[in-house]
Structure 1
Amino acid sequence: MAYDIRRLTFFVNICERRSLTAAASLSSVTQPVLSYHIAELEKAVGEPLLYRRPDGVEPTEAGLVLLGHAKAILSAVNTAEIAMRERRDQPGGVVSVGLLASIAPLVAPRMLHECKTRFPQIQLRISEGTSLQMRAGVDDNLFDLAVNLRERGDKASRSLLFEDLYLFARRGLIDIRRETVTLAEALQHKLLLPPKGHVVRALLEDAARKAGLAIRIEAEIEGLATLKSLVAESIGPAILGYGAIKVEYESGAFVAAKIIRPNVQREFILDEAVKKSYPKAVEEIKLIVIRAIQGLTK
């Protein structure tokens, strides 16, 4: 093919250097090879492309026309090579992330936005569920990453954030005028709480036992959405992490106070599957998850 990339590159080098010798050196070929390719171009064009003079060469009128097109072609090829190299180097693939139901609505939009903006070749697959589902999902390699709550004995997982527990209720149901309440004050109320085995329930029971306090239960509710709907219906107050009530608290639907003396906190952790189909993509999404979770702080 007369107008191949290599031949056009030789021609541009000659025109820019104004010398066959210099262009041959730049192109890493001998001068006869360079002359052959220029002759082939001239044969295809049907007229001379270069004026050959004792002090060097310069393009003819036809050569100037070809030079402009050749530079545009080579620039386009270079742009294409860069784009394809970036695409090859850009992490891609499907990354599955498990999120606790209490925080998924808060962090999923941020994760998806950052992923779409920075890594368009990565497809996020987000699932929400309970702590048990997060743990099982990682163990069974259903999730590449899962945000969970640390339980007793968990040591290997990466710590992400310590989040305070809050007493909260529908506005007007109980008197919450301060930003904080003591654990003793919080436990004076009959509470809507998750059932035994739930991390928040275990944290409260442990703190109450150490303080010599009793927990009074209005009802045990399995499921965040149901628990919050019952609070919204003024069935009773409840205790959860701040992230679980952030939207309702900031909108004014719920009043809330941080539990102190002692502070009761739940710890978010990041679990990772042993096998990852797209390890480079998982590493990038891991950083996005960490930033999203750490943005939950009040």
Structure 2
Amino acid sequence: MHLGNLELDPRKLIYFVTIIEHGSLKKAAKFLDISQPALSASMSRLEADVGQKLMERGPSGVVPTRFGDLIYAHARLIRDELKLLERHMIDRRSRQDNAIRFGALPSLSVTIIPKAVGRWRAKYPNESLQIIQKVQIELLHALLGRELDFMVGVTDSYDVLSGLKQRVLFRESLHVIARKGHPLFLKAELGWADLVSFPWVSPPAGRYDTLLENVLKNEGLPSPASNTVSSSISMLKSLVATGDSLALLPRHAALAEIREGALDCLPISSPHLKRSIALFMRDGYEMQPAHRDLLEDVRAVGTEVSRQCEAFQMT
């Protein structure tokens, strides 16, 4: 790899990324299946090539210098692109290159996505479909990295939206979920300040804040003292059902447990609990009929389920 008069070996860059991510030369050497002296010598040559120190030992292991952090950011992209190329080549050999790769939030994958896929399968029984469930920021990066064809997520503002476009599919409401018999159900006038003193379980919202922190901030309240973050909706519901923890979820994501009497929605609301669910896709991406029909089924099911949940809440 030539950059002007600078020549860099992509293999050394990948070695460097591995060291930073593992935090030590010993662990990186084991992962790469090479000797530690050979890895150390390779890094010395890389530092000589760029003319600056890239790493130093800190209390928690090997960490990048300021310049090393810049090299790491670019080298990681090279590593990820090579992995993506490898996956595409494997897909071609296994005849999976026509598969639809669709990303969705875990909370949508409990009820809405299965129902939508069921409808879509009646029209496309032989299409290959891969459904990836991740938190939103990970889905956006996967979409930008061309690991996904499109995704369905929340219309929040993220710094990675350059190169993407979005279209709202439906609106839904979040609810404070608690176990049946939680002490807060006995409180006559329930306010958000009452909820902060209890432990919470939250799905990640983005790179820094959880969804709960964003809502409480808009309510003028601090974050709860105890908050467990989990990207697994099943884990989240289990933790709420077996203790006094609270969680924010759309009603449809906990509908089975509500019907069984294990969970229920606390009688509290906020305008900040409304959110839009949207299609995200790369600029210039052209959808095929099967793609468009899948998204139409997601939109239709999402709209129906959200209306049903709202009607249930009012009864």
Using the size of structure 1 for normalisation, the TM-score is 0.58
Tell me what 1:110 maps to. 115
Matching of residues 60-209 of structure 1 within 5 Å? 94-152=99-157, 156-176=165-185, 182-194=191-203, 197=206, 201-202=210-211, 204-209=212-217
1:260 match: secondary structure:
coil
One-letter identity of the residue aligned with 1:172: G
Pair 296,188 (structure 1): closer, same or farther in 2 beyond 3 Å: farther
Tell me what 1:260 maps to. 269
Residues in 1 aligned to 2:214 and 2:276: alpha-carbon distance in whole angstroms? 15
1:248 match: secondary structure:
helix
Per the TM alignment, residue 277 of structure 1 is displaced from its structure 2 partner at its CA by 8.0
Name which of 228, 234, 243 aligns with 1:220. Answer: 228
Residues in 1 aligned to 2:165 and 2:143: alpha-carbon distance in whole angstroms? 13
Pair 124,258 (structure 1): closer, same or farther in 2 beyond 3 Å: farther
Q: Contact (CA 8 Å) 2:135, 2:205: kept in 1 or not?
A: no
Residues in 1 aligned to 2:302 and 2:219: alpha-carbon distance in whole angstroms? 30
Per the TM alignment, residue 270 of structure 1 is displaced from its structure 2 partner at its CA by 0.9
Q: Alpha carbon RMSD of aligned pairs, Å? A: 3.1
Of 103-112 and 205-214, deviating more is 205-214
Pair 235,114 (structure 1): closer, same or farther in 2 beyond 3 Å: same
2:133 match: secondary structure:
strand
Deviation by residue 1:61-83 (Cα, 9 ceiling, x = unmatched)? xxxxxxxxxxxxxxxxxxxxxxx
After TM superposition, the runs of 4+ consecutive aligned structure 1 residues lying more than 4 A away are: 274-278
Q: Contact (CA 8 Å) 1:169, 1:232: kept in 2 or not?
A: yes
One-letter identity of the residue aligned with 1:214: P
Tell me what 2:254 maps to. 245
Per the TM alignment, residue 275 of structure 1 is displaced from its structure 2 partner at its CA by 6.6
Using the size of structure 2 for normalisation, the TM-score is 0.55
Pair 109,240 (structure 1): closer, same or farther in 2 beyond 3 Å: closer
Per the TM alignment, residue 100 of structure 1 is displaced from its structure 2 partner at its CA by 1.0
Pair 284,161 (structure 1): closer, same or farther in 2 beyond 3 Å: closer
Pair 112,162 (structure 1): closer, same or farther in 2 beyond 3 Å: closer
Pair 121,136 (structure 1): closer, same or farther in 2 beyond 3 Å: same
Pair 175,157 (structure 1): closer, same or farther in 2 beyond 3 Å: same
Kindly tell me the number of residue pairs found equivalent between the two proteins. Answer: 204
Residues in 2 aligned to 1:177 and 1:255: alpha-carbon distance in whole angstroms? 13
1:220 match: secondary structure:
strand
One-letter identity of the residue aligned with 2:110: P
Name which of 279, 282, 296 aligns with 2:291. Answer: 282
Q: Contact (CA 8 Å) 1:169, 1:231: kept in 2 or not?
A: yes
2:110 match: secondary structure:
helix
Tell me what 1:84 maps to. none
Per the TM alignment, residue 186 of structure 1 is displaced from its structure 2 partner at its CA by 3.3
2:234 match: secondary structure:
helix
Residues in 1 aligned to 2:185 and 2:176: alpha-carbon distance in whole angstroms? 9
Pair 227,96 (structure 1): closer, same or farther in 2 beyond 3 Å: same
Q: Bigger radius of gyration, 1 or 2?
A: 1
Pair 195,282 (structure 1): closer, same or farther in 2 beyond 3 Å: closer
One-letter identity of the residue aligned with 1:282: H
Per the TM alignment, residue 258 of structure 1 is displaced from its structure 2 partner at its CA by 5.4
Residues in 1 aligned to 2:236 and 2:121: alpha-carbon distance in whole angstroms? 33
1:102 match: secondary structure:
helix
Of 271-280 and 210-219, deviating more is 271-280
Residues in 2 aligned to 1:94 and 1:239: alpha-carbon distance in whole angstroms? 33
Q: Contact (CA 8 Å) 2:103, 2:131: kept in 1 or not?
A: yes
Pair 172,269 (structure 1): closer, same or farther in 2 beyond 3 Å: same
Unaligned segments of structure 2, at least 5 residues: 1-97, 310-315
Pair 273,200 (structure 1): closer, same or farther in 2 beyond 3 Å: same
Per the TM alignment, residue 225 of structure 1 is displaced from its structure 2 partner at its CA by 2.5
Q: Percent identity?
A: 21
